[in-house]
Structure 1
Amino acid sequence: MWTGRPLPLPGRGRRAAYGRGIDAYVMLLFVQLAQQIHQMENKPPVTLALMAANAGVYFRDLLPEPLQQLIPPLRRACLQPAAVLQGGQWSRLFWSAWVHADEGHLYYNLSSLLWKGARLERRLGPARFAALTAELLLLSHGLVVAGSWALAQAIPEYRGMYLSTCAVGFSAVLFAFKVVLNHDDPTYSSVMGFTLPTKYMAWAELVLASAFNPQASFFGHLCGILAGVVHVRGAAALRSGASGQRLLRRVAAAVARVVGGAHQPRFAGGGVSGRAAPRPPARPVQAQEPPERLPAARLPTSPVPGAMPAAAVGRQAPAVISMGSGHVTGGVAAVSEEELRQRRLARFQR
Protein backbone atom coordinates (compact mmCIF):
# COMPACT_ATOMS: atom_id res chain seq x y z
CA MET A 1 0.00 0.00 0.00
CA TRP A 2 1.14 3.46 -0.84
CA THR A 3 -0.15 6.54 0.92
CA GLY A 4 -0.31 10.13 -0.11
CA ARG A 5 -2.62 12.92 -1.07
CA PRO A 6 -4.26 11.71 -4.27
CA LEU A 7 -6.56 14.01 -6.20
CA PRO A 8 -4.51 14.36 -9.42
CA LEU A 9 -4.28 17.79 -10.96
CA PRO A 10 -7.16 18.76 -13.26
CA GLY A 11 -6.57 18.07 -16.91
CA ARG A 12 -4.27 15.08 -16.38
CA GLY A 13 -5.33 11.96 -18.23
CA ARG A 14 -6.16 8.53 -16.94
CA ARG A 15 -2.68 7.25 -17.71
CA ALA A 16 -1.22 10.03 -15.61
CA ALA A 17 -3.58 9.20 -12.76
CA TYR A 18 -2.49 5.56 -12.63
CA GLY A 19 1.11 5.89 -13.82
CA ARG A 20 3.47 7.88 -15.99
CA GLY A 21 4.04 5.33 -18.74
CA ILE A 22 6.06 2.15 -18.87
CA ASP A 23 9.78 2.37 -18.22
CA ALA A 24 12.09 0.09 -20.23
CA TYR A 25 13.60 -1.45 -17.08
CA VAL A 26 10.14 -2.10 -15.63
CA MET A 27 9.12 -3.67 -18.93
CA LEU A 28 12.02 -6.13 -18.61
CA LEU A 29 10.85 -6.98 -15.10
CA PHE A 30 7.36 -7.73 -16.38
CA VAL A 31 8.81 -9.96 -19.11
CA GLN A 32 10.82 -11.84 -16.49
CA LEU A 33 7.66 -12.26 -14.41
CA ALA A 34 5.83 -13.66 -17.43
CA GLN A 35 8.65 -16.17 -17.94
CA GLN A 36 8.30 -17.33 -14.35
CA ILE A 37 4.61 -17.95 -14.91
CA HIS A 38 5.33 -19.83 -18.13
CA GLN A 39 7.83 -22.12 -16.39
CA MET A 40 5.39 -23.15 -13.67
CA GLU A 41 4.19 -26.74 -14.06
CA ASN A 42 0.90 -26.25 -12.22
CA LYS A 43 -0.38 -22.77 -12.91
CA PRO A 44 -2.68 -21.49 -10.13
CA PRO A 45 -5.84 -20.13 -11.80
CA VAL A 46 -7.06 -17.86 -8.99
CA THR A 47 -3.62 -16.34 -8.43
CA LEU A 48 -3.21 -15.62 -12.13
CA ALA A 49 -6.69 -14.11 -12.25
CA LEU A 50 -5.83 -11.79 -9.36
CA MET A 51 -2.62 -10.75 -11.11
CA ALA A 52 -4.52 -10.08 -14.33
CA ALA A 53 -7.08 -7.97 -12.46
CA ASN A 54 -4.36 -5.84 -10.86
CA ALA A 55 -2.60 -5.32 -14.18
CA GLY A 56 -5.87 -4.68 -16.02
CA VAL A 57 -6.94 -1.93 -13.62
CA TYR A 58 -3.57 -0.23 -13.90
CA PHE A 59 -3.49 -0.43 -17.73
CA ARG A 60 -7.15 0.41 -18.03
CA ASP A 61 -6.60 2.35 -21.27
CA LEU A 62 -5.88 -0.93 -23.02
CA LEU A 63 -9.24 -2.41 -22.00
CA PRO A 64 -12.47 -2.15 -23.99
CA GLU A 65 -14.55 0.93 -23.34
CA PRO A 66 -17.29 -0.87 -21.33
CA LEU A 67 -14.68 -2.21 -18.91
CA GLN A 68 -13.06 1.19 -18.60
CA GLN A 69 -16.36 2.65 -17.46
CA LEU A 70 -16.54 0.12 -14.62
CA ILE A 71 -13.19 1.13 -13.13
CA PRO A 72 -13.41 4.32 -11.05
CA PRO A 73 -10.67 6.96 -11.31
CA LEU A 74 -7.97 7.15 -8.69
CA ARG A 75 -9.61 9.93 -6.70
CA ARG A 76 -12.73 7.77 -6.20
CA ALA A 77 -10.92 4.46 -5.76
CA CYS A 78 -8.27 5.11 -3.11
CA LEU A 79 -8.96 4.09 0.47
CA GLN A 80 -9.80 7.34 2.27
CA PRO A 81 -11.36 6.79 5.72
CA ALA A 82 -13.19 10.12 5.70
CA ALA A 83 -14.86 9.33 2.37
CA VAL A 84 -15.91 5.91 3.65
CA LEU A 85 -17.22 7.00 7.05
CA GLN A 86 -18.65 10.40 6.22
CA GLY A 87 -19.46 9.99 2.54
CA GLY A 88 -20.62 6.39 2.63
CA GLN A 89 -18.33 5.40 -0.27
CA TRP A 90 -17.96 1.78 0.81
CA SER A 91 -16.78 0.72 -2.64
CA ARG A 92 -13.37 2.17 -1.77
CA LEU A 93 -12.83 -0.83 0.50
CA PHE A 94 -12.80 -2.97 -2.65
CA TRP A 95 -11.38 -0.82 -5.44
CA SER A 96 -8.41 0.55 -3.48
CA ALA A 97 -6.74 -2.88 -3.54
CA TRP A 98 -6.54 -2.99 -7.35
CA VAL A 99 -5.17 0.52 -7.88
CA HIS A 100 -1.39 1.10 -7.83
CA ALA A 101 0.74 4.21 -7.77
CA ASP A 102 3.25 3.33 -10.53
CA GLU A 103 4.76 0.43 -12.46
CA GLY A 104 7.32 -0.38 -9.77
CA HIS A 105 4.60 -0.61 -7.16
CA LEU A 106 2.56 -2.84 -9.46
CA TYR A 107 5.50 -5.14 -10.28
CA TYR A 108 6.48 -5.64 -6.65
CA ASN A 109 2.92 -6.58 -5.69
CA LEU A 110 2.48 -8.89 -8.68
CA SER A 111 5.71 -10.77 -7.99
CA SER A 112 4.83 -11.11 -4.32
CA LEU A 113 1.31 -12.25 -5.21
CA LEU A 114 2.68 -14.92 -7.56
CA TRP A 115 5.00 -16.34 -4.89
CA LYS A 116 2.56 -16.28 -1.95
CA GLY A 117 -0.65 -16.89 -3.84
CA ALA A 118 0.63 -19.96 -5.68
CA ARG A 119 1.63 -21.64 -2.42
CA LEU A 120 -1.57 -20.78 -0.61
CA GLU A 121 -3.72 -21.86 -3.54
CA ARG A 122 -1.89 -25.17 -3.75
CA ARG A 123 -2.44 -25.70 -0.02
CA LEU A 124 -6.09 -24.60 0.18
CA GLY A 125 -7.44 -25.19 -3.30
CA PRO A 126 -8.80 -22.56 -5.73
CA ALA A 127 -12.22 -22.10 -4.09
CA ARG A 128 -10.96 -21.71 -0.54
CA PHE A 129 -8.12 -19.47 -1.67
CA ALA A 130 -10.56 -17.17 -3.48
CA ALA A 131 -12.72 -16.97 -0.34
CA LEU A 132 -9.63 -16.28 1.76
CA THR A 133 -8.61 -13.43 -0.55
CA ALA A 134 -12.03 -11.78 -0.31
CA GLU A 135 -12.04 -12.16 3.47
CA LEU A 136 -8.57 -10.71 4.01
CA LEU A 137 -9.17 -7.86 1.56
CA LEU A 138 -12.29 -6.62 3.33
CA LEU A 139 -10.93 -7.33 6.80
CA SER A 140 -7.61 -5.55 6.30
CA HIS A 141 -9.17 -2.49 4.66
CA GLY A 142 -11.90 -2.43 7.29
CA LEU A 143 -9.22 -2.36 9.97
CA VAL A 144 -7.55 0.56 8.19
CA VAL A 145 -10.77 2.58 8.29
CA ALA A 146 -11.63 1.61 11.87
CA GLY A 147 -8.08 2.20 13.10
CA SER A 148 -7.87 5.60 11.40
CA TRP A 149 -11.14 6.65 13.03
CA ALA A 150 -9.90 5.46 16.45
CA LEU A 151 -6.63 7.37 16.08
CA ALA A 152 -8.51 10.49 14.99
CA GLN A 153 -10.66 10.28 18.11
CA ALA A 154 -7.67 9.66 20.37
CA ILE A 155 -5.47 12.41 18.84
CA PRO A 156 -7.76 15.19 17.54
CA GLU A 157 -4.76 17.34 16.52
CA TYR A 158 -3.95 14.87 13.71
CA ARG A 159 -7.53 14.09 12.78
CA GLY A 160 -7.12 15.37 9.24
CA MET A 161 -3.98 13.33 8.62
CA TYR A 162 -5.59 10.06 9.72
CA LEU A 163 -8.92 10.50 7.94
CA SER A 164 -7.91 12.33 4.74
CA THR A 165 -4.87 10.29 3.68
CA CYS A 166 -5.50 7.86 0.83
CA ALA A 167 -3.96 4.42 0.36
CA VAL A 168 -3.79 2.22 -2.73
CA GLY A 169 -2.41 -1.19 -3.60
CA PHE A 170 -2.74 -4.90 -2.89
CA SER A 171 -0.02 -4.85 -0.21
CA ALA A 172 -2.30 -5.20 2.83
CA VAL A 173 -3.68 -8.46 1.44
CA LEU A 174 -0.15 -9.66 0.66
CA PHE A 175 0.96 -9.09 4.24
CA ALA A 176 -2.07 -11.04 5.42
CA PHE A 177 -1.13 -13.82 2.98
CA LYS A 178 2.34 -13.97 4.50
CA VAL A 179 0.94 -14.40 8.01
CA VAL A 180 -1.40 -17.20 6.91
CA LEU A 181 1.35 -18.89 4.92
CA ASN A 182 4.01 -18.89 7.66
CA HIS A 183 2.06 -18.98 10.94
CA ASP A 184 2.82 -22.70 11.50
CA ASP A 185 6.30 -22.80 9.94
CA PRO A 186 8.81 -24.10 12.54
CA THR A 187 11.91 -23.10 10.52
CA TYR A 188 14.11 -20.01 10.76
CA SER A 189 14.91 -17.42 8.10
CA SER A 190 17.58 -14.79 7.70
CA VAL A 191 16.91 -11.20 6.68
CA MET A 192 19.56 -8.48 6.56
CA GLY A 193 21.91 -10.69 8.57
CA PHE A 194 19.38 -11.36 11.33
CA THR A 195 17.96 -14.82 11.96
CA LEU A 196 14.42 -15.07 13.27
CA PRO A 197 11.54 -17.56 13.12
CA THR A 198 9.90 -17.71 9.71
CA LYS A 199 6.46 -17.16 11.22
CA TYR A 200 7.57 -13.64 12.23
CA MET A 201 8.92 -12.68 8.82
CA ALA A 202 5.88 -10.52 8.09
CA TRP A 203 6.87 -8.18 10.92
CA ALA A 204 10.41 -7.88 9.60
CA GLU A 205 9.08 -7.16 6.13
CA LEU A 206 6.81 -4.49 7.63
CA VAL A 207 9.81 -2.63 9.05
CA LEU A 208 11.95 -3.03 5.94
CA ALA A 209 9.20 -1.87 3.57
CA SER A 210 8.74 1.33 5.55
CA ALA A 211 12.48 1.89 5.93
CA PHE A 212 13.32 1.56 2.23
CA ASN A 213 10.17 3.24 0.91
CA PRO A 214 8.88 6.23 2.89
CA GLN A 215 5.71 6.29 0.79
CA ALA A 216 4.76 2.79 1.90
CA SER A 217 1.74 2.74 4.18
CA PHE A 218 3.02 1.42 7.49
CA PHE A 219 -0.46 1.49 9.00
CA GLY A 220 -2.02 -0.25 6.01
CA HIS A 221 0.59 -3.01 6.07
CA LEU A 222 0.13 -3.37 9.83
CA CYS A 223 -3.61 -3.80 9.37
CA GLY A 224 -2.88 -6.50 6.80
CA ILE A 225 -0.78 -8.39 9.35
CA LEU A 226 -3.52 -8.01 11.95
CA ALA A 227 -6.09 -9.33 9.48
CA GLY A 228 -3.93 -12.42 8.94
CA VAL A 229 -3.58 -12.93 12.69
CA VAL A 230 -7.35 -12.64 13.16
CA HIS A 231 -7.94 -15.21 10.44
CA VAL A 232 -5.38 -17.66 11.86
CA ARG A 233 -6.70 -17.38 15.42
CA GLY A 234 -10.31 -17.68 14.30
CA ALA A 235 -9.58 -20.73 12.17
CA ALA A 236 -7.74 -22.36 15.08
CA ALA A 237 -10.72 -21.77 17.37
CA LEU A 238 -13.10 -23.34 14.86
CA ARG A 239 -10.82 -26.35 14.34
CA SER A 240 -10.75 -26.96 18.09
CA GLY A 241 -14.50 -27.60 18.01
CA ALA A 242 -15.71 -24.28 19.39
CA SER A 243 -18.70 -23.26 17.32
CA GLY A 244 -19.92 -19.71 16.90
CA GLN A 245 -22.59 -20.03 19.56
CA ARG A 246 -20.13 -21.59 21.98
CA LEU A 247 -17.68 -18.76 21.42
CA LEU A 248 -20.42 -16.20 22.01
CA ARG A 249 -21.47 -17.96 25.20
CA ARG A 250 -17.88 -17.99 26.42
CA VAL A 251 -17.47 -14.30 25.68
CA ALA A 252 -20.78 -13.49 27.37
CA ALA A 253 -19.82 -15.55 30.41
CA ALA A 254 -16.44 -13.82 30.63
CA VAL A 255 -18.06 -10.39 30.41
CA ALA A 256 -20.60 -11.37 33.05
CA ARG A 257 -17.83 -12.50 35.39
CA VAL A 258 -15.92 -9.28 34.88
CA VAL A 259 -18.97 -7.05 35.32
CA GLY A 260 -20.64 -8.95 38.15
CA GLY A 261 -17.57 -10.32 39.88
CA ALA A 262 -17.45 -7.52 42.45
CA HIS A 263 -21.04 -8.17 43.55
CA GLN A 264 -20.81 -11.92 43.98
CA PRO A 265 -20.14 -13.32 47.47
CA ARG A 266 -17.07 -15.37 48.18
CA PHE A 267 -17.53 -18.55 50.13
CA ALA A 268 -14.78 -19.53 52.52
CA GLY A 269 -13.15 -22.89 52.06
CA GLY A 270 -14.23 -23.39 48.48
CA GLY A 271 -11.59 -21.29 46.79
CA VAL A 272 -14.10 -20.11 44.16
CA SER A 273 -16.24 -17.03 44.15
CA GLY A 274 -19.79 -17.21 42.91
CA ARG A 275 -23.35 -17.88 43.89
CA ALA A 276 -24.04 -21.15 45.63
CA ALA A 277 -26.87 -23.26 44.30
CA PRO A 278 -29.82 -23.41 46.75
CA ARG A 279 -30.04 -26.65 48.66
CA PRO A 280 -33.30 -28.33 49.69
CA PRO A 281 -34.09 -28.00 53.40
CA ALA A 282 -32.84 -30.90 55.44
CA ARG A 283 -35.35 -33.19 57.06
CA PRO A 284 -35.61 -32.87 60.83
CA VAL A 285 -34.05 -35.86 62.53
CA GLN A 286 -36.47 -37.50 64.96
CA ALA A 287 -35.12 -39.54 67.82
CA GLN A 288 -36.37 -43.08 67.70
CA GLU A 289 -37.28 -44.74 70.94
CA PRO A 290 -35.63 -48.07 71.70
CA PRO A 291 -37.68 -51.11 70.84
CA GLU A 292 -39.58 -52.67 73.67
CA ARG A 293 -38.39 -56.02 74.95
CA LEU A 294 -41.10 -58.56 74.25
CA PRO A 295 -41.70 -61.41 76.63
CA ALA A 296 -40.20 -64.68 75.51
CA ALA A 297 -42.70 -67.01 73.91
CA ARG A 298 -43.01 -70.54 75.17
CA LEU A 299 -41.74 -72.95 72.56
CA PRO A 300 -43.41 -76.31 72.10
CA THR A 301 -41.61 -79.28 73.60
CA SER A 302 -43.09 -81.92 71.34
CA PRO A 303 -40.94 -82.52 68.27
CA VAL A 304 -42.41 -81.81 64.87
CA PRO A 305 -41.27 -83.99 61.94
CA GLY A 306 -38.71 -82.12 59.85
CA ALA A 307 -38.57 -79.23 62.30
CA MET A 308 -35.57 -77.94 64.19
CA PRO A 309 -35.35 -78.80 67.86
CA ALA A 310 -36.52 -76.15 70.26
CA ALA A 311 -33.12 -75.81 71.87
CA ALA A 312 -31.52 -75.16 68.48
CA VAL A 313 -34.11 -72.55 67.71
CA GLY A 314 -33.33 -70.86 70.98
CA ARG A 315 -29.64 -70.89 70.24
CA GLN A 316 -30.16 -69.17 66.84
CA ALA A 317 -32.49 -66.50 68.07
CA PRO A 318 -31.41 -63.05 66.81
CA ALA A 319 -29.63 -60.63 69.04
CA VAL A 320 -31.63 -57.95 70.76
CA ILE A 321 -30.16 -54.48 70.06
CA SER A 322 -30.99 -51.68 72.41
CA MET A 323 -30.37 -48.29 70.74
CA GLY A 324 -31.62 -46.17 73.55
CA SER A 325 -29.22 -47.36 76.23
CA GLY A 326 -26.16 -46.88 74.06
CA HIS A 327 -24.98 -50.54 74.21
CA VAL A 328 -25.74 -53.76 72.40
CA THR A 329 -26.87 -56.89 74.19
CA GLY A 330 -26.61 -60.14 72.30
CA GLY A 331 -27.46 -63.73 73.17
CA VAL A 332 -30.36 -66.15 73.56
CA ALA A 333 -33.79 -64.91 74.57
CA ALA A 334 -34.45 -65.10 78.34
CA VAL A 335 -35.97 -68.48 79.47
CA SER A 336 -37.07 -69.40 82.99
CA GLU A 337 -35.13 -71.99 84.98
CA GLU A 338 -38.15 -74.31 85.21
CA GLU A 339 -38.50 -74.40 81.45
CA LEU A 340 -34.82 -75.16 81.01
CA ARG A 341 -35.14 -78.05 83.45
CA GLN A 342 -38.15 -79.42 81.55
CA ARG A 343 -36.21 -79.24 78.27
CA ARG A 344 -33.28 -81.18 79.73
CA LEU A 345 -35.63 -83.91 81.05
CA ALA A 346 -37.34 -84.19 77.70
CA ARG A 347 -33.95 -84.60 76.00
CA PHE A 348 -32.97 -87.53 78.29
CA GLN A 349 -36.36 -89.20 77.92
CA ARG A 350 -35.77 -89.51 74.17
Structure 2
Amino acid sequence: MLSLLWKGIQLETSMGSAEFTSMVATLVSMSQGVTLLLAKSLLIFFDYERPYYNEYSLGFSGVLFAMKVVANAQSDEYTSVHGLMVPTRYAAWAELILIQMFVPGVSFLGHLGGILAGLLYLRLKASFSGPSPLTQLMRGFRHALNWPLRLVKSLLRTRPRITGRGTTGGRNARDTLQRWRCQACTFDNSGRLNICEMCGTGHADDGPSSPVPTSDIHDLSLEELRRRRIQRFG
Protein backbone atom coordinates (compact mmCIF):
# COMPACT_ATOMS: atom_id res chain seq x y z
CA MET A 1 0.00 0.00 0.00
CA LEU A 2 2.92 2.35 0.65
CA SER A 3 4.20 1.56 -2.84
CA LEU A 4 0.76 2.32 -4.29
CA LEU A 5 0.67 5.63 -2.39
CA TRP A 6 4.10 6.67 -3.64
CA LYS A 7 3.50 5.71 -7.29
CA GLY A 8 -0.06 7.01 -7.23
CA ILE A 9 0.99 10.47 -6.07
CA GLN A 10 3.58 10.74 -8.85
CA LEU A 11 1.35 9.46 -11.64
CA GLU A 12 -1.94 11.14 -10.69
CA THR A 13 -0.22 14.50 -10.20
CA SER A 14 1.38 14.30 -13.62
CA MET A 15 -1.54 12.94 -15.67
CA GLY A 16 -4.69 13.96 -13.79
CA SER A 17 -7.31 11.94 -11.93
CA ALA A 18 -9.37 10.84 -14.94
CA GLU A 19 -6.40 9.52 -16.94
CA PHE A 20 -4.89 7.93 -13.82
CA THR A 21 -8.13 6.08 -13.08
CA SER A 22 -8.41 4.83 -16.65
CA MET A 23 -4.75 3.75 -16.57
CA VAL A 24 -5.22 1.72 -13.38
CA ALA A 25 -8.36 0.07 -14.77
CA THR A 26 -6.53 -0.75 -17.99
CA LEU A 27 -3.49 -2.14 -16.17
CA VAL A 28 -5.66 -4.36 -13.97
CA SER A 29 -7.20 -5.99 -17.03
CA MET A 30 -4.01 -6.14 -19.05
CA SER A 31 -1.82 -7.53 -16.24
CA GLN A 32 -4.30 -10.31 -15.50
CA GLY A 33 -4.71 -11.07 -19.20
CA VAL A 34 -0.96 -11.25 -19.81
CA THR A 35 -0.52 -13.45 -16.72
CA LEU A 36 -3.19 -15.82 -18.01
CA LEU A 37 -1.47 -16.02 -21.41
CA LEU A 38 1.86 -16.76 -19.74
CA ALA A 39 0.30 -19.51 -17.64
CA LYS A 40 -1.32 -21.02 -20.73
CA SER A 41 2.02 -20.87 -22.56
CA LEU A 42 3.73 -22.78 -19.74
CA LEU A 43 1.10 -25.48 -19.97
CA ILE A 44 1.49 -25.80 -23.75
CA PHE A 45 5.28 -25.66 -24.05
CA PHE A 46 6.39 -27.24 -20.79
CA ASP A 47 3.47 -29.62 -20.10
CA TYR A 48 2.98 -28.85 -16.42
CA GLU A 49 0.97 -31.47 -14.51
CA ARG A 50 -1.17 -28.78 -12.84
CA PRO A 51 -2.02 -25.69 -14.90
CA TYR A 52 -0.65 -22.53 -13.33
CA TYR A 53 -3.89 -20.63 -13.94
CA ASN A 54 -5.63 -23.04 -11.54
CA GLU A 55 -3.40 -21.80 -8.68
CA TYR A 56 -4.77 -19.19 -6.31
CA SER A 57 -3.14 -15.78 -6.11
CA LEU A 58 -4.10 -12.57 -4.39
CA GLY A 59 -2.68 -9.07 -4.50
CA PHE A 60 -2.19 -5.85 -6.41
CA SER A 61 1.55 -6.17 -6.89
CA GLY A 62 1.30 -7.00 -10.60
CA VAL A 63 -0.42 -3.66 -11.24
CA LEU A 64 2.19 -1.93 -9.05
CA PHE A 65 4.95 -3.34 -11.27
CA ALA A 66 3.08 -2.02 -14.30
CA MET A 67 2.74 1.40 -12.67
CA LYS A 68 6.47 1.38 -11.91
CA VAL A 69 7.20 0.75 -15.59
CA VAL A 70 4.94 3.63 -16.62
CA ALA A 71 6.39 6.02 -14.03
CA ASN A 72 10.04 5.25 -14.87
CA ALA A 73 9.73 4.86 -18.64
CA GLN A 74 11.23 8.25 -19.54
CA SER A 75 13.76 8.51 -16.71
CA ASP A 76 17.50 8.66 -17.47
CA GLU A 77 18.58 8.55 -13.83
CA TYR A 78 19.84 5.69 -11.67
CA THR A 79 18.06 4.28 -8.65
CA SER A 80 18.90 1.89 -5.83
CA VAL A 81 17.05 -1.43 -5.76
CA HIS A 82 17.92 -3.09 -2.44
CA GLY A 83 21.39 -1.56 -2.59
CA LEU A 84 21.97 -2.32 -6.27
CA MET A 85 22.32 0.76 -8.54
CA VAL A 86 20.48 0.23 -11.83
CA PRO A 87 19.00 2.56 -14.47
CA THR A 88 15.60 3.72 -13.28
CA ARG A 89 13.81 2.53 -16.42
CA TYR A 90 15.01 -1.04 -15.70
CA ALA A 91 14.31 -0.93 -11.96
CA ALA A 92 11.17 -3.05 -12.30
CA TRP A 93 13.14 -5.91 -13.91
CA ALA A 94 15.79 -5.82 -11.18
CA GLU A 95 13.12 -5.76 -8.50
CA LEU A 96 11.37 -8.72 -10.15
CA ILE A 97 14.51 -10.86 -9.89
CA LEU A 98 15.52 -9.76 -6.40
CA ILE A 99 12.05 -10.23 -4.92
CA GLN A 100 11.85 -13.71 -6.40
CA MET A 101 15.23 -14.56 -4.87
CA PHE A 102 14.42 -13.34 -1.36
CA VAL A 103 10.68 -14.17 -1.32
CA PRO A 104 10.24 -17.26 -3.51
CA GLY A 105 6.59 -17.71 -2.57
CA VAL A 106 5.39 -14.66 -4.50
CA SER A 107 3.76 -14.91 -7.92
CA PHE A 108 6.56 -14.61 -10.47
CA LEU A 109 4.16 -14.79 -13.41
CA GLY A 110 1.92 -12.16 -11.80
CA HIS A 111 4.80 -9.71 -11.45
CA LEU A 112 6.13 -10.53 -14.90
CA GLY A 113 2.67 -10.04 -16.36
CA GLY A 114 2.49 -6.63 -14.68
CA ILE A 115 5.79 -5.51 -16.22
CA LEU A 116 4.73 -6.69 -19.68
CA ALA A 117 1.35 -4.99 -19.21
CA GLY A 118 3.12 -1.71 -18.39
CA LEU A 119 5.24 -1.96 -21.54
CA LEU A 120 2.17 -2.79 -23.62
CA TYR A 121 0.28 0.16 -22.11
CA LEU A 122 3.10 2.55 -23.03
CA ARG A 123 3.12 1.19 -26.58
CA LEU A 124 -0.65 1.61 -26.94
CA LYS A 125 -0.55 5.08 -25.38
CA ALA A 126 2.13 6.19 -27.84
CA SER A 127 -0.08 5.09 -30.74
CA PHE A 128 -2.94 7.42 -29.64
CA SER A 129 -2.58 11.12 -30.44
CA GLY A 130 -5.25 12.18 -27.94
CA PRO A 131 -6.80 10.83 -24.75
CA SER A 132 -7.91 7.22 -24.81
CA PRO A 133 -11.63 6.38 -25.06
CA LEU A 134 -11.56 5.05 -21.50
CA THR A 135 -10.11 8.35 -20.26
CA GLN A 136 -12.91 10.26 -22.00
CA LEU A 137 -15.43 7.90 -20.40
CA MET A 138 -13.93 8.54 -16.95
CA ARG A 139 -14.06 12.29 -17.51
CA GLY A 140 -17.69 12.07 -18.56
CA PHE A 141 -18.50 9.97 -15.50
CA ARG A 142 -16.77 12.49 -13.23
CA HIS A 143 -18.62 15.33 -14.94
CA ALA A 144 -21.93 13.55 -14.31
CA LEU A 145 -21.09 13.01 -10.64
CA ASN A 146 -20.18 16.68 -10.18
CA TRP A 147 -23.39 17.94 -11.83
CA PRO A 148 -25.53 18.02 -8.62
CA LEU A 149 -22.76 19.89 -6.79
CA ARG A 150 -22.45 22.44 -9.59
CA LEU A 151 -26.24 22.90 -9.56
CA VAL A 152 -26.27 23.60 -5.83
CA LYS A 153 -23.38 26.06 -6.21
CA SER A 154 -25.17 27.89 -9.00
CA LEU A 155 -28.31 28.19 -6.86
CA LEU A 156 -26.39 29.47 -3.84
CA ARG A 157 -24.13 31.81 -5.79
CA THR A 158 -24.97 35.47 -5.07
CA ARG A 159 -24.66 37.99 -7.83
CA PRO A 160 -22.70 41.20 -7.12
CA ARG A 161 -24.91 44.18 -6.33
CA ILE A 162 -24.70 47.31 -8.45
CA THR A 163 -24.07 50.11 -6.01
CA GLY A 164 -25.48 53.57 -6.49
CA ARG A 165 -28.49 55.46 -5.29
CA GLY A 166 -31.72 54.54 -7.01
CA THR A 167 -30.51 51.34 -8.72
CA THR A 168 -30.68 48.75 -5.91
CA GLY A 169 -32.24 48.27 -2.52
CA GLY A 170 -35.47 46.57 -3.55
CA ARG A 171 -36.87 49.34 -5.74
CA ASN A 172 -39.28 48.25 -8.42
CA ALA A 173 -38.54 48.56 -12.11
CA ARG A 174 -41.00 51.45 -12.59
CA ASP A 175 -39.27 53.59 -9.97
CA THR A 176 -35.86 52.72 -11.47
CA LEU A 177 -36.96 53.80 -14.93
CA GLN A 178 -38.38 57.06 -13.63
CA ARG A 179 -35.12 58.15 -12.02
CA TRP A 180 -32.54 60.12 -13.99
CA ARG A 181 -28.81 60.66 -13.43
CA CYS A 182 -27.27 64.11 -13.45
CA GLN A 183 -24.52 64.41 -16.03
CA ALA A 184 -22.68 66.98 -13.93
CA CYS A 185 -22.34 65.16 -10.59
CA THR A 186 -23.75 61.68 -11.45
CA PHE A 187 -26.38 61.97 -8.73
CA ASP A 188 -29.52 59.83 -9.24
CA ASN A 189 -32.58 62.01 -8.89
CA SER A 190 -36.24 61.21 -8.65
CA GLY A 191 -38.27 61.40 -11.82
CA ARG A 192 -40.48 64.01 -10.21
CA LEU A 193 -37.59 66.51 -10.13
CA ASN A 194 -36.39 68.52 -13.12
CA ILE A 195 -33.37 69.93 -11.28
CA CYS A 196 -30.57 67.92 -9.68
CA GLU A 197 -31.04 67.72 -5.96
CA MET A 198 -27.27 67.75 -5.40
CA CYS A 199 -25.85 70.44 -7.68
CA GLY A 200 -28.82 72.24 -9.21
CA THR A 201 -28.17 71.14 -12.80
CA GLY A 202 -31.27 70.95 -14.96
CA HIS A 203 -32.51 67.70 -16.48
CA ALA A 204 -32.65 67.58 -20.31
CA ASP A 205 -33.81 64.48 -22.18
CA ASP A 206 -32.57 65.56 -25.59
CA GLY A 207 -29.09 66.80 -24.82
CA PRO A 208 -26.48 67.54 -22.19
CA SER A 209 -27.72 69.00 -18.96
CA SER A 210 -27.02 72.62 -18.16
CA PRO A 211 -27.40 74.64 -14.97
CA VAL A 212 -30.83 76.17 -14.55
CA PRO A 213 -31.12 79.09 -12.16
CA THR A 214 -34.14 79.05 -9.86
CA SER A 215 -35.29 81.06 -6.92
CA ASP A 216 -35.26 78.03 -4.61
CA ILE A 217 -31.77 76.69 -5.40
CA HIS A 218 -28.81 79.07 -5.31
CA ASP A 219 -25.61 78.61 -7.27
CA LEU A 220 -23.17 76.34 -5.46
CA SER A 221 -19.50 77.09 -5.19
CA LEU A 222 -16.95 74.50 -6.27
CA GLU A 223 -15.96 73.91 -2.66
CA GLU A 224 -19.59 73.29 -1.65
CA LEU A 225 -20.10 70.92 -4.61
CA ARG A 226 -16.91 69.08 -3.64
CA ARG A 227 -18.09 68.82 -0.03
CA ARG A 228 -21.44 67.35 -1.11
CA ARG A 229 -19.78 64.84 -3.40
CA ILE A 230 -17.47 63.70 -0.58
CA GLN A 231 -20.46 63.44 1.72
CA ARG A 232 -22.33 61.30 -0.83
CA PHE A 233 -19.54 58.98 -1.96
CA GLY A 234 -17.70 58.77 1.36
Alignment TM class, shorter chain as reference: 0.5 to 0.7
Equivalent positions of 1:1-350 (< 5 A) are: 110-156=1-47, 158-239=48-129
5+ unaligned residues in a row in structure 1: which ranges?
A: 1-109, 242-350
2:117 is paired with a residue of what secondary structure? helix
Q: For residues 82 and 56 of structure 2, what CA distance do their matches in structure 1 show?
A: 30
Task: Give the direction of change, closer, same or farther, for the CA distance of 1:126–1:145 in structure 2 (3 Å limit).
Answer: same
- Letter of the structure 2 residue corresponding to residue 224 of structure 1: G
Asked whether the 8 Å contact 1:185–1:198 carries over to 2, the reply is yes
Asked whether the 8 Å contact 2:39–2:51 carries over to 1, the reply is no
Larger Rg: 1
Q: For residues 127 and 195 of structure 1, what CA distance do their matches in structure 2 show?
A: 34
Following TM superposition, by how much is the alpha carbon of 1:207 offset from its aligned partner in structure 2, in angstroms?
A: 1.1
Asked whether the 8 Å contact 1:152–1:162 carries over to 2, the reply is yes
- Letter of the structure 1 residue corresponding to residue 55 of structure 2: T
Corresponding residue for residue 70 of structure 1: none
Q: For residues 134 and 192 of structure 1, what CA distance do their matches in structure 2 show?
A: 29
Q: For residues 51 and 103 of structure 2, what CA distance do their matches in structure 1 show?
A: 19
State the superposition RMSD in angstroms: 1.8
5+ unaligned residues in a row in structure 2: which ranges?
A: 131-234
Asked whether the 8 Å contact 1:151–1:159 carries over to 2, the reply is no
Corresponding residue for residue 12 of structure 1: none
2:50 is paired with a residue of what secondary structure? helix
Q: For residues 226 and 129 of structure 1, what CA distance do their matches in structure 2 show?
A: 18
Q: For residues 150 and 159 of structure 1, what CA distance do their matches in structure 2 show?
A: 13
Q: Could you give the per-residue CA deviations for residues 290-330 of structure 1, whole angstroms, max 9, x where no partner exists?
A: xxxxxxxxxxxxxxxxxxxxxxxxxxxxxxxxxxxxxxxxx
2:128 is paired with a residue of what secondary structure? helix
Q: Could you give the per-residue CA deviations for residues 84-116 of structure 1, whole angstroms, max 9, x where no partner exists?
A: xxxxxxxxxxxxxxxxxxxxxxxxxx1110000
Asked whether the 8 Å contact 2:78–2:85 carries over to 1, the reply is yes
Q: For residues 186 and 155 of structure 1, what CA distance do their matches in structure 2 show?
A: 38
- Letter of the structure 1 residue corresponding to residue 68 of structure 2: K
Following TM superposition, by how much is the alpha carbon of 1:133 offset from its aligned partner in structure 2, in angstroms?
A: 0.4
2:85 is paired with a residue of what secondary structure? strand
Calculate percent identity across the aligned residue pairs. Answer: 44
Asked whether the 8 Å contact 1:153–1:159 carries over to 2, the reply is no
- Size of the alignment, in residue pairs? 131
